Amino acid sequence: MSPIDSILGIPGLVVQRVDRGQEIHVWASPQGRPACVHCQHGSVRIKATYQRLLKHTRQGNQLMVLHLSVPKYHCPQCHRYFRHPFAGIRPRLRATETYRLEVFEAHEGGVSQRKLTMTHQIGSATVERWYQSYVRQRVSELSGRTCPQIIGIDEHFFSRRHGYATTLVDLKNHKVFDVVLGRSEPSLRRYLRHLPGREKVKVVVMDLSESYRRIVQKYFPGAQIVTDRFHVVRLINHHMLKLWQLQDPVGRKHRGLLSLMRRHPWKLTDEQKDRLDQYLDAFPVLKAIYIAKQHLMRFILLKTVKAKRAKRLLPRSLELIQQLENSPARSLAETIRSWLVPIVRMWRFSKSNGITEGFHTKMEMISRRAFGFRNFENYRMRVLALCGWSGMINRV
């Protein structure tokens, strides 16, 4: 590639003249004649030459305008006409693909339409049109995919009118696979029934939601459910606080104590430990609950455990759950028992729905930037284009 080629980014051009004023004007023409596009005949005749004016890229803060000579050819063999084909320039458009991509990426990165009308000398409607066209292109590249084998499933709030939506995340490739309106089985039924590759799903990560569990069992028959660690820990903390409220409503309101109770014991300083012990000594029942909770947490936080060790650990954790069942923490123990298998699978499986939660934050930003979406399909397109895709456009 010659330096000129790399400046222009469009191969096969000869630069005739460059004029650097307020804008950079470049006059260029094709290097050679192509074979006939209809019959591949080698030598074609130039019938006429047209001028095309194209906005190309911005070099520094100068806009580059391309004055392109486009020959129209005649083929002596098949007697048909055609125009010179350029890589990266589509027919009839007044900007190159590089330029359109530049605008799309700037707008996606948060540069406003108004700003782009000044830097790129296009109307705000054009920014919107180009943006939409890339979004559609990305989504069409994504359509017809089969369901990934390791997915995370979670709900998020869409709008007051439409309520919640369900997110399916490809946990292996860190991509949003799809968003579907609704979070109950009847509202997801139609989508899930027609989801290609759902029989091959191996692992589904989710929070402790009964309705999602039933959905997964029904529509992903080969999948193992794994709970999300964050949600399990939150559940335990939630129960813990409720029990504490019953035991000592005054102490529960104390912010310093709250912080001590919530922390992992190995993150406390000696001084803090003493303070906590002093407090707990006054409430023997609470102390017992606290100790049991710490044991439970140790099991919950285990990860990348080898199968052999997991087998050894299992009876001990069962014993602990049994103890909890005979304590004030019975309802917690019951929930954990009903989710025991998915919880224990966390020991072996390292993925969590942290990625999913991260995407929810990003999706909220998308929604915020558009001042909310009325139409779910538009929202879905936007989410898939921005979260479901590798971020590289295959240039033609």
Taking contact as CB under 5 A, which single stretch among the options 68-76, 165-173, 236-244, 297-305 is the one that binds Zn ion? 68-76
- Written as six digits, the tokens of 291 are 């100790």
Nearest residue (CB) to Zn ion, 84 versus 198 = 84
- CB atoms under 10 Å from CB of 351, counted, come to 18
CB 72 within 8 A of CB 83: yes
For Zn ion, the binding residue among 24, 36, 208, 321 (CB under 5 A) is: 36
Which residue lies nearer to Zn ion by CB, 75 or 122? Answer: 75
Backbone angles phi, psi at 90, to 5 degrees: -95, 150
| Binding-site size, Zn ion (CB under 5 A) | 7
Q: Minimal distance in Å, beta carbon 78 to Zn ion?
A: 3
Residue 248 buriedness (CB in 10 A; 0-12 / 13-18 / 19+): middle
Question: Does the footprint of Zn ion cover residue 384 (CB under 5 A)?
Answer: no
Binding of Zn ion by 39 (CB under 5 A) = yes
For the bound state, the minimum distance from the C-beta of residue 43 to Zn ion, rounded and expressed in Å, comes to 10
d(CA 262, CA 252): 11
Establish if 78 lies at the interface with Zn ion (CB under 5 A): yes
Q: Which stretch binds Zn ion (CB under 5 A): 4-12, 71-79, 136-144, 350-358?
A: 71-79
Minimum Å distance from CB 92 to Zn ion? 23
Which of 41, 74, 83, 295 is in the footprint of Zn ion by CB under 5 A? Answer: 41
Tokens, residue 307: 């199968």
75 vs 386, which CB is nearer to Zn ion? 75
Given 75, 257, 336, 387, the residue binding Zn ion (CB under 5 A): 75
Q: Does 38 bind Zn ion (CB under 5 A)?
A: yes
Least Å from the CB of residue 40 to Zn ion: 7
Interface with Zn ion includes 73 (CB under 5 A)? Answer: no
User: Which residues in the 188-247 window bind Zn ion by CB under 5 A?
Assistant: none
Q: Is the dihedral of CA 209, 213, 214, 219 positive or negative?
A: positive
Asked whether the beta carbons of 64 and 26 are under 8 A apart, the reply is yes
338: Cβ contacts below 8 Å, ≥ 6 apart: none
Chain Cα centroid distance, residue 306: 30
What stretches of 78-123 show up as alpha helix (H) in DSSP? Answer: 97-108, 113-119
Residues 6+ apart with CB under 8 A from 223: 201, 202, 203, 204, 216
CB of residue 46 vs Zn ion: minimum separation in angstroms? 14
Residues of this chain that bind Zn ion (CB under 5 A): 36, 38-39, 41, 75, 77-78
